[in-house]
Structure 1
Amino acid sequence: MRRHCTTVRSVGLVTGTGLLHNKVAVVTGAGSGLGREYALALAAHGARVVVNDFGAAVTGEQRSPGAAGQVVSEIVSLGGQAAANTADVSQWGGAESIIDTAITSFGRLDIVINNAGINRPSSLVDLSEHDVDAQLGVHLKGTLAVSHFAAAYWHQAGVQPHRAIVNTTSAVGLHPTAGGGVYGAAKSAIAALTVSHAQELARLGVRVNAVAPCARTRMVKESPAVLALMPDATGFDRHAPEHVAPLVVYLASSLCRFTGRVFAIEGPDVAVYSAVGVAQHWSTTDAWSVEALADALADAD
């Protein structure tokens, strides 16, 4: 069912009260783009935020680690509370330090937004081992590692309601295309992790969901073919990164009743994916032969 609603975006920070008052959130890859918007929105709703950003370029190289501190300064200048962390999520110790920053700075952890990502587009023919390791490291291992240390803390702290993890998948992973390659495979795996971790962490009061954002990010701007699908708007800009943030805040908040689900968002349009099911089924009275399979599957979709 398709539903329409109108929302009003709040401006500035909520101080003392708010939907996420007293909550502590970690946002990885929060030095720019979507991550920055998430950090600002979480703070605007009362959360204290750990802003993690390694400071790398879209490819994961050319490090300039000042981005996290700049976003922290933005939050603090508006009356919020935030702490910077410049660790690499793909490193086990780096992921641990991100969670430690939340505990040492604010005394607790309630929300994890796994947003960090890089992209090194390559055809299968031209693919290098280094590119594979780098992309799987940030996307898949990074999501696993940060979630692992968060879960370990929550296990030790005991059951509490309204904890949340929000992972980041992609249309490239949910609807694979030529050239999606390693990036798409990692994002598809993150969608699977979301379902698995939702089941595992429910006993600790943790909801786990994922978002597949469609926005004009730094990564998109470096891909002319994708950028062409998101032209600059003269009116409402459906691809502006800030339009994704309300969904992330909702998924992180006590208003959300979902877990183990994947949401897509493009400006004013939000969708939730259904679980993958069996499309068609065949059976036989005995073991299959190659010829029998060929006959049975001849008219398959």
Structure 2
Amino acid sequence: MKKLENKVAVVTGSGRGIGRDIALLMAKEGAKVVVNDLGGGSDGNGNDTKVADEVVREIRELGGEAVANYDSVSEYESATKIVETALTEFGRIDIVVNNAGILRDRMLFKMSEEEWDAVIAVHLKGSFNMTRAAAPYFKEQKSGRFINFTSTSGLIGNVGQANYAAAKLGIAGLNRITALDMARYNVTANAVAPFAWSRLIGSIPTETDDQKARVDKLKQLSPAHIAPLVAFLSSDEAADVSGQIFGVRGKEIMVFSQPRPVRSVYNAEGWSIDSLSSIKGSLQSSFTPLEVSADVFPYEPLV
């Protein structure tokens, strides 16, 4: 029996890249899939319904069941329509993959309010909108899977991505609370930080030799590497996995730590600026370095 037989999945942003590969694999594993994509560019502008239609065609040619949806996750009512598409076409909903995303990279001191709002709206608010729309059905049927997409831009850091990093770290928090709130209903929520070449990271600078070398490495990482983990987390096999953050880097899968205290100091008399200055070094040895993602993952990806 296929791992997702009789399941209904909504995969947002599944007209291209990572989302497309997830939709195709889920259909191959027996799921009925709502292929959601409004067909915009990497910055969110534009609209091309053919993008979602093409993935639906591919799934049907492989013998699977799929339907297209072109609504934007950034609008609460539109997210409700996406979930309603699953209910209308297939009679239920079992899996929500919050993959849709855009980029508006800019150094913080140059970023406009519109660039900030647009990225937060699609990634963070969009993930909430979809989660909120599906959660009552998951609660009622006492089953369901949320797969959220975070990023090392938020978990670790990257230059020029204040909007994207804030959204992606916010999604990690949303994922954790979703897992806690829905646990009693046998609903899981897990987050995935993908390493894969896609149009969303096609804007990475290639002005220096180091930057070019980094992009060449990223181009080796296929979106297809991400899909098996997402399909597994969506299956009954992962019923006891929730509230976790995973990374997929080529053929390597990792589990990320989540914030916990690493060191503490105590002063019975309370703290002052002077006393804090005197013990700064005691805490400093446990400070997290000011790093970007490439500093933490300097080694060659396993492809």
Task: Find 2:127's aligned residue among 143, 150, 155.
Answer: 143
Deviations 1:137-168 (A, max 9, x none): 0000000000001002223x3324xx211000
Task: Tell me if structure 2 keeps the 8 A contact 1:230–1:239.
Answer: no
Matching of residue 252 in structure 1 with residue 237 in structure 2: no
SS, match of residue 297 in structure 1:
helix
Residue aligning to 2:261: 278
- What residue is the counterpart of 1:62 in the other structure? 46
Aligned residues: 279
1:193-241 deviations in whole A, cap 9, x for unaligned? 11111011111211100100000111122324477424279xxx85011
Aligned to 2:156: 175
| Contact map agreement 2:204 2:215 (CA 8 A) in 1 | no
The 3 A distance-change label for structure 1 pair 98 and 190 is same
* 1:269-301, Cα deviation, whole Å (9 max, x unpaired): 100012321121011112211111111213422
TM-score by length of 1: 0.89
Q: Post-superposition shift, 1:62? A: 2.2
- Distance across 1 between alignment mates of 2:74 and 2:232: 27
Contact in 1 for aligned 2:197/2:220 (Cα 8 Å): no
* Structure with greater proportional helix content: 2
Q: Are 1:190 and 2:190 counterparts?
A: no
Asked if the contact 1:31–1:70 (Cα under 8 Å) also holds between the matched residues in 2, the reply is yes
Aligned to 1:11: none
Kept in 1, the 8 Å contact 2:13–2:36? The answer is yes
> 1:104-163 deviations in whole A, cap 9, x for unaligned?
0000010010000000000111111111110000000000000001002223x3324xx2
Deviates more, 1:191-200 or 1:171-180: 171-180
> For 2:273, which of 286, 290, 293 is the aligned residue?
290
What fraction of aligned residue pairs are identical, expressed as a percent? Answer: 39
List runs of 5+ in structure 1 lacking aligned partners: 1-16
Task: Give CA-to-partner distance per residue, 1:60-106, whole Å, 9 cap, x none.
Answer: 11222221111111101111000111001000111101100000000
SS at match of 1:26: strand
Q: Distance in 2 between matches of 1:51 and 1:193?
A: 23
Q: Is residue 25 of structure 1 aligned with residue 9 of structure 2? A: yes
What amino acid sits opposite 1:251 in the alignment?
A: L
- TM-score normalised by length of structure 2: 0.88
Cα distance in structure 1, aligned partners of 2:250 and 2:217:
13
